[in-house]
Amino acid sequence: MADLPTKAKVVIIGGGIHGLSTAWKLSETYKNPNDIVVLEKKDIAAGASGIACGVVRNNYFQPAMRELMAHSVGVWESDPKTFKYNPVGYMQISPEIMHKDVASIYEQQKGIGYESVFIEGEKDCTNYMKGIFDDWQAKGITSVLHEKKGGYAFNKDSIRGIESKANANGVNVHKGVTVTGFKRGSNSKAVTGVVTNKGTIDCDQVVIGAGPWARDFWNMLDLPKKTKIKGSNGTTHEVDMWTYWFLQEGVLGVDANYLRTNEGKQPPVIHVDTDAPLYSDQSGDLLTDKLWGIYYKPDIEGLGVQGGTSPYIVDKHFDEVKVDPYGLESPDYQTTDKFADMWTSALAHCQKRFVGKSNLYRKGPSGGLGCLTPDSFPIFDRFCENVYMIADANHGYKMIGVGHLVAQEILGKESELLKPFRFNRYEKGELHPTSNSPFPWS
Ligand SMILES: Cc1cc2nc3c(=O)[nH]c(=O)nc-3n(C[C@H](O)[C@H](O)[C@H](O)COP(=O)(O)OP(=O)(O)OC[C@H]3O[C@@H](n4cnc5c(N)ncnc54)[C@H](O)[C@@H]3O)c2cc1C
């Protein structure tokens, strides 16, 4: 590994999807050695990007999110082989309470030329689903949005693919280098250098793509712990800047081809939200009669079917949440038996092939923390004059294109797609619309 330089044009912090895709795109313009320096405390894909389920979709109720996702899907499609991207499509399967929201998503997808099919009415939805999986049995579904684009990618492999593209343009990712603080100018708020455990790098600009560690960098920059939000009634209130959620995911240990369609093909990613009562596949007990949601797809390691349910809020002030060690190594945050019962029962609720299969759930560490913003949507903005923060509010593995747009902004060209995600939207009350989905990011 090359020595850590003492000077750079841009220091990028984080070897996940956002840090590396920003480095890749920026390196098409900044070509001199050490123009761009990427710092990663552990290894690439050591954070959320390396454990993401890998789902790539457009289905968002917020127009600005949808346009951004359509842009990112274009980047995934630009090199599916390197990104290990499977363009199998994505299905949002919903109950009546979400019908209107999803219908508007479909209309707007047509408007932006994003190919999808929309089925309405319980009978037609059941027939459509049975046309894909003849064992489909979920009741009370009154709309199906079938996105023909999107699908899923292999989490770690795609991050390696992006690193290789940045490497090919001469960028070095310095692994095992932990950022501990920032050097500040005497006459302005600007950052003049990035302080690490292996030395300080003076620089003109900084990009932070720190995923669940966004909070730590926010604190290092002395930014406020509360944010003012102007509500729709014009009054302003203050909320905590960050909230941690725990993403619950797991794998059912069945044959790698278990989820094939009637035609023997790879299935689209399935996402079901419903208010139908859910009963345990193990005990027959009622698990919930409130709105619930799950998603599933083939496991990327061929271990069976992988997916998850809605995440839950970590009931602690953000400064008290222990993010390290992260993911599968975390002693504090792992999925539980309750999750396994709920998710496997939900699979059985949807497809007959999963009935009586909950005992095949693969026990072991899974899931991970996400750091969400005050409205649970991303913040892409500059702070302290020259620090660009990519705080994706855990929407972000699918957002492979954000780094491209951030690179443009670093080079001085404002991105229309990123503009709706500025920090001052809270104070101005320019918030994204919210949907009826049980997930914080739909
Ligand atoms: C269980 C789970 C499943 C998910 N599934 C999906 C999905 O299916 N689809 C989807 O679109 N999104 C999904 N997400 C969300 C997605 O994974 C994240 O939004 C995205 O990966 C964040 O990318 P990032 O580059 O910002 O951060 P990360 O990938 O977390 O990268 C940040 C990097 O910064 C490094 N770092 C931290 N602190 C320091 C420091 N002080 N110095 C140097 N380096 C540091 C870390 O080691 C890490 O490698 C999921 C998230 C989780 C937790």
The verdict on 124 and 181 lying in the same domain is: no
CB 307 within 8 A of CB 295: yes
Give the contacts of 300 (CB within 8 A, at least 6 positions apart). Answer: 54, 152, 154, 155, 306
pLDDT score of 255: 96
Residue bearing the CA closest to ligand 1, atom 4: 52
Q: How many angstroms does the Cα of residue 212 sit away from the middle of ligand 1?
A: 6
The verdict on 200 and 127 lying in the same domain is: no
Measured between alpha carbons, how far is 237 from 227 in angstroms, rounded to an integer? 8
Mutate-to-test residue for ligand 1 from 4, 24, 43, 49, highest number of ligand atoms within 8 A of CB? 49
- Per the omega criterion (within 30 degrees of 0), is the bond before 325 cis? yes
Q: How many angstroms does the Cα of residue 211 sit away from the middle of ligand 1?
A: 4
Residue bearing the CA closest to ligand 1, atom 14: 52
CB 213 within 8 A of CB 281: no
Mutate-to-test residue for ligand 1 from 41, 196, 366, highest number of ligand atoms within 8 A of CB? 41
pLDDT score of 295: 97
Q: How many angstroms does the Cα of residue 397 sit away from the middle of ligand 1?
A: 7
The verdict on 171 and 315 lying in the same domain is: no
Measured between alpha carbons, how far is 51 from 328 in angstroms, rounded to an integer? 8
- Give CA separation, 179 vs 194, 217, 253, in Å: 7, 9, 39
Residue 14 Cβ < 6 Å to ligand 1: yes
The verdict on 365 and 281 lying in the same domain is: yes
Residue 49 Cβ < 6 Å to ligand 1: yes
pLDDT score of 325: 98
The domain total for the chain is 2
In this structure, the strands spanning 312-313 and 236-240 are unpaired
**Strand pairing partners for 86?**
152
Give the distance from CA 230 to its chain's centroid.
Answer: 26
pTM across the whole model: 0.97
Q: In what order do the strands lie in the sheet with 368-372?
A: 312-313, 243-247, 368-372
Q: In b/e form, how buried is each residue of 225-250, taking b as 16+ CB within 10 angstroms?
A: eebebbeeeeeeeeeebbbbbbbbbb
Residue 367 Cβ < 6 Å to ligand 1: yes
Measured between alpha carbons, how far is 205 from 189 in angstroms, rounded to an integer? 13
Provide the domain limits for residue 363: 90-148+243-372
Question: What is the CATH classification number for the domain harbouring 293?
Answer: 3.30.9.10
Q: Please identify, by atom number, the ligand 1 atom nearest to the C-alpha of residue 49.
A: 21
pLDDT score of 281: 97
Tokens at 233, concatenated: 């009634």
The verdict on 163 and 67 lying in the same domain is: yes
CB 391 within 8 A of CB 214: yes
The verdict on 282 and 361 lying in the same domain is: yes
The verdict on 399 and 365 lying in the same domain is: no
The verdict on 199 and 305 lying in the same domain is: no
Last residue of a domain, one of 372, 391, 425: 372
The verdict on 19 and 54 lying in the same domain is: yes
Last residue of a domain, one of 372, 396, 428: 372
pLDDT score of 1: 64
Measured between alpha carbons, how far is 247 from 250 in angstroms, rounded to an integer? 10
Measured between alpha carbons, how far is 20 from 283 in angstroms, rounded to an integer? 46
Last residue of a domain, one of 372, 395, 422: 372
Q: How many angstroms does the Cα of residue 424 sit away from the middle of ligand 1?
A: 24
CB 73 within 8 A of CB 55: no
Residue 278 Cβ < 6 Å to ligand 1: no
Q: How many angstroms does the Cα of residue 201 sit away from the middle of ligand 1?
A: 24
The verdict on 221 and 78 lying in the same domain is: yes
Question: What is the CATH classification number for the domain harbouring 225?
Answer: 3.50.50.60
Residue 442 Cβ < 6 Å to ligand 1: no
pLDDT score of 176: 98
pLDDT score of 3: 87
pLDDT score of 437: 80
Q: How many angstroms does the Cα of residue 390 sit away from the middle of ligand 1?
A: 11
The verdict on 80 and 201 lying in the same domain is: yes
Rounded average pLDDT per 10-residue block, the chain, 442 residues: 90 98 98 95 98 94 93 97 98 97 94 95 98 97 98 98 97 97 91 98 98 98 97 93 97 97 97 97 97 96 95 97 98 96 98 98 96 97 98 96 98 98 97 84 72
The verdict on 10 and 33 lying in the same domain is: yes
